[in-house]
Chains A and B, each alone.
Chain A
Amino acid sequence: MKIEGTWILAPNEACAHQQIDDETVVVQADRGTASVLNTIGGQIFSLCDGKASVDEIVDQLDLEYDLEKSEIRQQVEQFAQDLMKQGLIRRLS
């Protein structure tokens, strides 16, 4: 599944999350799991807020990280795919 830049992603309704120190814990009641995301993972998850598009998430991270934008996009898309596979986020539009 290819993640498009115009997609708007949001947390799954059955999820709740909590940032602790520099890690984020995402709880999935419907699957009975809790996942720990590292700093950047937690940041991407938080930016999947049902408002920002994937392009806007990439733009936001591009301001903060000293990496090629194409590399940031690749990482965001890959990570978003993983989050969708795990059922932590879903596509809103």
Chain B
Amino acid sequence: MNKNGGTEGVTAVVAGQHGRRQFLVLPRWFTSDHPLPWLAPLFALIAAFGLYPLGYALWLTLNQRNPYTREMEWSGLDQWARALGDERMWNALMVTSIYTVVCLLVQVVLGFVIALLLDSERPGYGVLRALMTLPLVVPPAVTGLMFLLMEDAQFGVLAYYLDVVGLADPSQPILGNIYTALPGVMLADIWQWTPFMVLIILAGLRALPKEPYEAAAIDGASYLQSLWYLTLPMLGRVVAVAVLIRTIDLFRIYDYIYTMTTGGPGTATETLSFYAGREFTTANFNYASTLSLITLILLNVVCFLFIRVSRVKF
């Protein structure tokens, strides 16, 4: 910091000698030597369209819309009390939690196995790795439709093969049964985002030091032993960052639900985000806002705890 300040002082003197700043004397915080002008556009946008809407959302939760006059009326914490006593909200929270945890587990395990499989310098593996990135850029709404097409009970290719091997019954559509609907939606998520884990873990594997493995090999460790005692602990931080980012996205899942089940059958696949969206489209703006803020608060708590426990650094 001292060094930097010194350099800037020198610059000012040099610039002065050339007479560059003498036509127009600006306050220092208004010149490119001060961070403020660089950061101002970003923070102006965040303030206007990030923080102000957040305040607006909070204000919405403290009001109630009069159905006759269509005016907002102060209602205190009524919306929050309603949410806490709302069984449907608890169900949505349950669905969201199950969805997040199961998808995370499957994606981490699958991602790890596939990354180990694809981590090779042999010819052709580069192409395989490139192909694995393609699911990541499919619009999630399209992914939802993709799996809706494959899981259809009458003409779905996946449903057909599951029927052939006796795992599914064509009279029970995958997405129309309260027990299989959620796994059916998860399948789309797992297809789209396992490649994310694969990519991150591959990058982590590439960055591992070679020496510990050589030492372990000399000591006669087997492949599985060095995998368990060396690779897994050393990859911990990389996986933690990936898990954090996936948790954020999983917890606010919306697109797959909208395209595949619209929350049904009943409320079997209704997540918090989707419940909030449904209330919003039926003009219960205040309650929708409350539900979306509950999602935000829970997400922040989970992320905060996770960052504390795993010591992720950005």
Question: Is this pair of chains taken from one and the same complex?
Answer: no
List residues of chain A with CB under 8 Å of any chain B CB: none
